Structure 1
Amino acid sequence: MSKSISIFDTTLRDGTQGEGISLSADDKLKIAKKLDELGVHYIEGGIPGSNGKDIEFFKRVQTLGLHAKITAFGSTRRKGSIAHQDDNLKRMIESGAQAATLVGKSWDFHVHTALQTTLEENLAMIADSISYLKQQGMELIFDAEHFFDGYKNNPEYAVEVLRTARQAGADWLTMCDTNGGTLPHEIYEIVSRLNLELDGAPLGIHTHNDCELAVANTLSAVQAGARQIQGTMNGYGERCGNANLCSILPTLQLKMDYTCISNEQMAQLTNTARYVSEIANVHMPINQPYVGNAAFAHKGGIHVSAILRDSRTYEHIEPEKIGNKQRILVSELAGQSNILSKAKEMDLILDPENENTKQIIGKIKDLEHQGYQFEGADASLELLLREANGEIKELFVFESFKMLVEKNAGSAVVSEAFVKLKIGGDSIYTAAEGNGPVNALDNALRKALVEHYPNLREMHLSDYKVRVLDEADATASKVRVLIESQNLSNTWSTVGVSANVIEASWEALVDSIRYALIGQALPDQNLSNGPSIHGIVNH
């Protein structure tokens, strides 16, 4: 029978302690709404009164009508003081949060060294603080900081800390692996003992990823009896991060028969993870388990051939269950199955027995050997396949381009491009300036084409990346240029490779333009509102 797990998200508090992560009040409110839609049960919003952003968050979040319990974070009263006079505790109450996360010391070493007080006073600080917050009607989650280190050093005192918190009224007793150094078998053994010693008290787990074991440690704690898991989206957090809820939730629910959120909410996991990544402005690793763009991407020809028969051959779950999807990559490792799969996505019919199909595979492998990369440039790949299949008619003929880059003392660099094309029987010669040579080329090429192809007015370049391929050759190295373009409804990427960065940029730029006009380039099609785009790169 499936067992329920309480999900406690601390992205907005512990997650923001990660290097390079800074969220405004608006950012935190957007993420809170997204987490609520995902179905988490507790959203820890921050430390009330610690800064203007958190003050604003707790004030505004009350108007959102979220289902999740908003939680305020704080520490126990100071040594030698009185709980109801403690400013930190007062701010937690005044925040309007339904629940409070109270952190207290459970490692005797920390009590003596960090708090510089006695073990007895630490217990009093915990009991007084919890009792006071409970009297104000708040649900109380007690986070026993450094619990596992404390238990290994002085198990009697660590357990006494939890007993004291429970007797004072704590609703959850959360064991924290604050330094992230405990191993999964240790977690399992300790939590199992506590389940017996504390007579089945409601236990939670909060782990850090310093040994890259935060997910494994959380799963071990749940197997041993913990019923609340604390973590962050994408594993954000101080030092090496916190336990990654994006890995924990699907593992518990899809593989271990625990209930975390509804199946419909689980299908929003990938979208939520990527949304939080965008708001936090933190690059999401392409190979992140479950929700990464490459989590269900297949490149090797043998793998692709097998998954086309049955995806279970190389996929541990159905990606749709967590909102991700299967991707087939085309590269120098590609076999016939890769090409046929990509062609099917593009509504192309390729005969696997046809010699032309084998030539396409050979050409792709040769281009990849030269430095082209079609994994991130599906638009260039689609053009290649359609051309090989004889589907694309000629839109324009390139004759030449010239570049002028001028720098005078005391003035900015001026870039000017001159492009010569033939469209139909007409020769067209245009010139345009730009913010750098690539922009100048883009402007000149558009200027030459836009009268014949008005839809180009809706298109613009959205990203430009250069990668050096032969670092040993220094400035003479071959480079690969990836250009991302978009119009009113689509986004696509193209690639160019050359020892000359301008030529590589030109190749990618021309492919981008041709792809934008693919509706006009395909026989018997005339799409006035822009191209029918297939094989778009996912972002």
Structure 2
Amino acid sequence: MPNSKRHIEIMDTTLRDGEQTSGVSFSASEKLTIAQLLLTEVKVDRIEIASARVSEGEFLAVKKITSWAAANGFIDKVEVLTFVDGETSINWMVEAGAKVMNLLTKGSLNHLTHQLKKTPQQHFDEIAAVIALANSKGITCNVYLEDWSNGMRNSKDYVFQYLDFLTQQPVKRILLPDTLGVLIPSEVSEFISEIVNRYPNKHFDFHGHNDYDLGTANVLAAVKAGIHGLHLTVNGMGERAGNASLSSTVAVLNDFVKNVKTSVVEKSLYSVSKLVETFSGFRVSPNQPIVGENVFTQTAGIHADGDKKNNLYFNDLMPERFGRQRKYALGKTSGKANIENNLQQLGIQLSDDDLKKVTQRIIELGDRKEMVTQADLPYIISDILDSNTIEEKVLIENYVLTHSKDLRPSVTLKISINNEIFEEHAQGDGQYDAFVNALQKIYKLKKLELPLLTDYTVRIPPGGKSDALCETIITWLHNGKEFKTRGLDSDQTVAAIKATQKMLNII
């Protein structure tokens, strides 16, 4: 049975419109890398990579991309924004090796009258001359109607006068931008339906901005109204509030518009998002749909429990579609199910009693607003299992650590030894050194000798991404034998104190 789905062309404009994000500028090599990934891995239909005449650096970037594209069969998929400036933009295109131009023209009478101060006919005549010249140089021409959305709202007669003229020109695509991001979905649907019905044999693209957070909703309305192509950006980058997002749009079309298809590979959307984030320095919000770090993370324990019982909290946005994995957050709202899911991914099994202790420790850390990750779990488990084997006859009941400018660190320490309470104060070269000095005073009173500290190591879980835990490992020498104790806490000194309490109970 033949595939009857209508193909929607996806034109990615991250390298042109997306680069207008405040503070973002890609190098020539970065532009080439992103262009290659978009065309070969993400498999968008087209990319818009630059504006003509902007700078020497932009020219070199375009030459790099067109040289690679020509050698690999992608040159017709690489587009450059040009202007109605006689031969200037076209000559720039020829020198840069580009073959497709997107000509910026006026799509509203307001822009035409007040910015260009020209009549429609004057504008049309200049556009016709540029299109003819481009074609004579072997350049394919698409045309932007800048401010088209306001044109349809406030000067529709002008827009249709222009389209009547433009549809008679040797133009491949007509590009309809909501330049200021002002449209709502019902207007997008109305305006595009009217245009595609009036010109059924022409190709129209919709270029949506996100000023009212309606970018994805508007592109969905455009597709349902019959648009042939969409302009999108990685991570929704773009001027002001950005452009319609590539990842969100592709997911919405795949899930909610059954009679259309795109060429985009969903599994590549996350990798290109991370690459663009790295090159641009433009950080993706953790809760940004599809590509945000937290969007496939369940936090509430009840949700994790429901996932174990027939995937009750799953929807169609399965992380595997986008090359990602579902995670179960660890914090004060974690239940046993959250922790069990994480342990299962690590291949660890615990008894019910130990699982309760681990859960309680994670809740305690969450109450202190510490972030616990899966990488922390083996450390927490090790600390709890280690503590289970030690009978606690010595308890560090309380302590005050002080660190002041131009004063030596000091500690006031209160401990219990076989239910007998001792309190001492001492100074030292650091807070832990002061703690040990206070402890030695107490043990001298008891005529007891402390082991010799021979090594002191601090580490965090692999990757160093956790702000919740560090592990202090202290090596002691006692009666000619060495042994190690470990302490776990978000504070290095407190972790060392916990390791020391374990030592006191062992000896």
What TM-score, normalized by structure 2, do the two folds share?
Answer: 0.77
Structure 1 counterpart of 2:453: 428
**Counterpart in 1 of 2:37?**
34
Q: Deviations over 1:284-338 (max 9, x none)?
A: 1111101111111101111111122334633332211112221111111111211
Q: Secondary structure at the match of 2:293?
A: coil
Distance 1:94 1:287 in 2: 43
Question: What SS is found at the alignment partner of 1:174?
Answer: strand
Structure-2 residue corresponding to 1:381? 377
Residue 67 of structure 1 and its aligned partner are, at CA, apart by 4.9
Q: In structure 2, what is the Cα distance between the partners aligned to 1:168 and 1:30?
A: 35
Whole-angstrom distance in 2 between the partners of 1:305 and 1:12:
43
Kept in 2: contact 1:146–1:176 (CA 8 A) = yes
Paired with 2:456 and 2:227, the residues of 1 have a C-alpha distance of 65
Q: How far apart in 2 are the matches of 1:188 and 1:128?
A: 33
CA contact (8 A) 1:299 1:329 kept: yes
- Secondary structure of 1:16's counterpart equals helix
Whether contact under 8 Å (1:494, 1:508) holds in the other structure is no
2:492 partner amino acid: W
* 2:49 paired with 1:63: no
- How far does residue 31 in structure 1 lie from its aligned partner after superposition? 1.3
Question: Within 5 A, what are the aligned runs for 1:243-254?
Answer: 243-254=244-255
Alignment partner for residue 76 of structure 1, among 71, 84, 106? Answer: 84
Contact 2:371 2:466 in 1 (8 A): no
Amino acid at match of 1:150: G
- Distance in 1 (alpha carbons) for counterparts of 2:189 and 2:99: 31
1:46/1:72 contact within 8 Å kept: yes
Return the alpha-carbon distance in structure 1 between the equivalents of residues 267 and 238 of structure 2: 24
- AA aligned opposite 1:428: L
- Give yes or no for contact 1:250–1:322 (8 Å, CA) kept in 2: no
- Look up the match of 1:260: 262
1:342-374 Cα deviation digits (max 9, x unpaired): 1112221134xx243233323322332233221
Q: What CA distance in whole angstroms lies between the structure 1 residues aligned with 2:63 and 2:356?
A: 64
Could you report, residue by residue, the CA deviation over 1:482-529 in whole angstroms, capped at 9, with x for unpaired residues? x7x75xxx55524259xxxxx955269979x9xxxxxxxxxxxxxxxx
CA distance in 2, matches of 1:393, 1:144: 75
Task: Tell me, yes or no, if the aligned pair for 1:303 and 1:314 is still in contact at 8 Å.
Answer: no
Equivalent in the alignment of 2:23: 20
> Mind listing any 5+ residue stretches in structure 1 that lack a counterpart?
78-82, 408-415, 430-447, 451-455, 460-482, 498-502, 514-539
Aligned residue in 2 for 1:135: 136
Matched position secondary structure for 1:348: coil
Q: Which residue of 1 aligns with 2:243?
A: 242
Structure 1 distance, partners of 2:163, 2:495, is: 63
How far has the Cα of 1:63 moved from its partner? 3.3
Distance in structure 1 (CA, Å) of the matches to 2:285 and 2:203: 35
Q: How does 1:331-350 map to 2 (within 5 A)?
A: 331-350=331-350
The correspondence of residues 276-315 of structure 1 with structure 2, limited to 5 A, is 276-311=276-311, 313-315=313-315
Query: Pairwise mapping of residues 422-461 of structure 1 onto structure 2 (< 5 A)?
Result: 427-428=452-453, 448-449=455-456
Give how far 1:110 is off: 0.7
Cα distance change on mapping 1:382 and 1:163 into 2, 3 Å: farther
Percent identity over the alignment?
23
Select which of 466, 481, 501 maps to 1:493: 466
Q: d(CA) in 1 for partners of 2:464 and 2:42?
A: 27
**Displacement, 1:128?**
2.0
> Do the aligned partners of 1:48 and 1:95 also contact (CA within 8 Å) in 2?
no
Find the residue that maps to 2:360 and give its secondary structure.
helix
Matches of 1:26 and 1:44 in 2, distance apart? 16
- Structure 1 counterpart of 2:38, one-letter code: L
Among 357, 360, 384, which residue is 2:358 paired with?
360
Relative to structure 1, is the Cα distance of residues 40 and 393 closer, same or farther in structure 2, using a 3 angstrom cutoff? farther
Looking at CA atoms only, which structure, 1 or 2, has the larger radius of gyration?
A: 2
In structure 2, what is the Cα distance between the partners aligned to 1:243 and 1:393? 57
How far apart, CA to CA, are the structure 1 residues paired with 2:127 and 2:388? 74
For 2:278 and 2:495, locate their aligned partners in 1 and report how far apart those are by CA, in whole Å: 26
Mapped partners of 2:492, 2:20: distance in 1: 43
Structure 2 equivalent of residue 45 of structure 1: 49
Counterpart residue number, 2:492? 506
Secondary structure at 2:79 match in 1: strand
Aligned pair count reads 428
- Residue 102 of structure 2: aligned partner: 101
Q: How far does residue 426 in structure 1 lie from its aligned partner after superposition?
A: 6.6
The aligned amino acid for 1:74 is T
Contact 1:402 1:417 in 2 (8 A): no
Once residues 494 and 227 of structure 2 are traced to their aligned partners in structure 1, the CA distance between those partners, rounded to angstroms, is: 53
Structure 2 counterpart SS, 1:12: coil
What secondary structure does 2:330 align onto? coil
- SS across alignment from 2:316: coil
Distance 1:406 1:9, change over 3 A: farther
The change in CA–CA distance for 1:92 and 1:391 in structure 2 (over 3 A counts) is farther
Mapped partners of 1:58, 1:244: distance in 2: 23
> Which segment is superposed worse, 379-388 or 165-174?
379-388
Aligned residues of 1:13 and 1:46 also touching (Cα < 8 A)? yes
How many Å apart are 1:148 and its aligned residue? Answer: 1.6
Cα deviation code 1:388-413 (max 9, x no counterpart): 3559999xxxx999979779xxxxxx
Q: Distance in 1 between matches of 2:213 and 2:239?
A: 13
Deviation string 1:438-484 (CA, Å, 9 cap, x unpaired) is xxxxxxxxxx457xxxxx9xx8xxxxxxxxxxxxxxxxxxxxxxx7x
Partner in structure 2 of residue 154 of structure 1: 155
Aligned partners of 1:426 and 1:38: how far apart in 2?
61
* Stretches (4+) displaced over 4 A: 389-394, 399-407, 416-421, 507-511
2:482: which partner in 1? none
Distance 2:431 2:368 in 1: 28
Q: CA deviation at 1:61?
A: 1.5
Work out the CA distance in 2 between the residues paired with 1:4 and 1:204: 12
State whether residues 207 and 231 of structure 2, in contact with CA within 8 Å, keep that contact through their aligned partners in structure 1. yes
Please state how far the C-alpha of 1:255 moved relative to its aligned partner: 3.5
Cα–Cα, structure 1 residues 372 and 140, in superposed 2: closer, same or farther, change >3 Å? same
The DSSP-based 3-state class of the residue aligned with 2:68 is coil
**1:496/1:508 contact within 8 Å kept:** no
Distance in 2 separating the partners of 1:179 and 1:355: 60
The answer for the alignment partner of 2:447 in structure 1 is: none
